[in-house]
Amino acid sequence: MKARVTVTLKSGILDPQGKAIEGALKSLGVGGVASVRQGKVFDIEIEGADRAGTEAALKAAAEKLLANTVIENYRIEVTG
């Protein structure tokens, strides 16, 4: 089974890397950029056919390792 875990900063949390990207885009002449928020994407291949079990395992992995749940949100998408 394939899955994608997307981790983003919660709203209200300062994002200095996003601000740096925003500034760089503007200096490159990319118009209309209002703001940039950065995040992380994990593409994971996991064995097993039980979708509920896979989602539970990925939720545990996200909460223990992939995301800092104090300042980050995560979203899990399982395909296949």
Domains in the chain (CATH in brackets) are 2-79 (3.30.1280.10)
Burial 17-54 (b: 16+ CB within 10 A, else e): eeeebbeeeeeeeeeeeeebeebeebebeeeeeeeeeb
Which percentage of the chain shows pLDDT scores above 90?
Answer: 95
- The predicted-structure confidence for 37-73, as pLDDT tens digits, reads as follows 999 999 999 998 899 999 999 999 999 999 999 999 9
